[in-house]
Amino acid sequence: MSVRPRRIAATVALLATAAGSRAATQPPQGNAVSSSNAPSVYLVTIGPGDPVWTRFGHSALVIAGAGAGGGIAYNYGMFSFQQEHFVLRFLQGRMMYWMHGFPADAHLRDHQAQDRTIWIQELALTASQRDSLARFLAWNDRDENRYYPYDYYLDNCATRIRDALDLVLGGRIRDQTDTPSGDAPTYRFHTRRSFAGAPLVYAGTLLALGQPVDRRTTAWQEMWLPEAMQRHLRSVTVTGSDGTPRQLVRSERVLFEGSYRVEDQPPGYWTTGALAIALLLGLVAIAAVRRWDHSGTARLLAFGIAWLWAALAGVLGSVALALWTLTDHWATAWNENLLQFSPAALLLAVMLPFAFLGRQRWRRAIRILAVAIATGSVLGALLQVLPWFSQVNGPVVAAGLPLNLALAAFAVRLEAAD
pLDDT at 30: 36
pLDDT at 16: 44
pLDDT per residue over 191-214, tens digit each?
998 888 788 888 999 999 999 999
Residues 6+ apart with CB under 8 A from 214: 186, 187, 188, 390, 391, 392
Q: Measure Cα distances from 123 to 43, 165, 172, 400 in Å.
A: 7, 10, 14, 50
Return the amino acid letter for 114.
Answer: Q
Return the amino acid letter for 266.
Answer: P
pLDDT at 37: 62
Let me know if 4 is exposed, middle or buried by CB neighbors in 10 A (0-12, 13-18, 19+): middle
pLDDT per residue over 9-36, tens digit each?
445 444 543 333 333 333 333 333 444 5
pLDDT at 384: 84
Give the H/E segment covering residue 331: none
pLDDT at 288: 83
- Backbone angles phi and psi of 417, in degrees to 5: -70, 155
Among the listed residues 374, 378, 375, the one whose alpha carbon sits nearest the alpha carbon of residue 404: 374
DSSP 181: -
Q: SS3 of 294, please?
A: coil
Among the listed residues 43, 42, 37, the one whose alpha carbon sits nearest the alpha carbon of residue 19: 37
Asked if 402 and 278 count as a contact pair (C-beta separation under 8 A), the reply is: yes
Q: How far apart are CA 225 and CA 240, in angstroms?
A: 27
pLDDT at 348: 94
pLDDT at 133: 96
- Backbone angles phi and psi of 45, in degrees to 5: -115, 125
- Largest CA-CA distance found in the chain, in angstroms, rounded: 95
DSSP 52: G
Q: How far apart are CA 383 and CA 379, in angstroms?
A: 6
pLDDT per residue over 349-367, tens digit each?
999 998 877 767 788 899 9
Q: Point out the residues of the chain with pLDDT beneath 50.
A: 1-6, 8-10, 12-14, 16-35, 66-68
Q: How far apart are CA 306 and CA 347, in angstroms?
A: 13
DSSP 179: S
Q: Where do the DSSP E strands lie in 131-272? A: 147-149, 237-239, 245-247, 249-256
Residues 6+ apart with CB under 8 A from 418: none
Let me know if 171 is exposed, middle or buried by CB neighbors in 10 A (0-12, 13-18, 19+): exposed
Q: SS3 of 279, please?
A: helix
pLDDT per residue over 303-353, tens digit each?
899 999 999 999 999 999 999 999 999 999 999 999 999 999 999 999 999
pTM equals 0.83
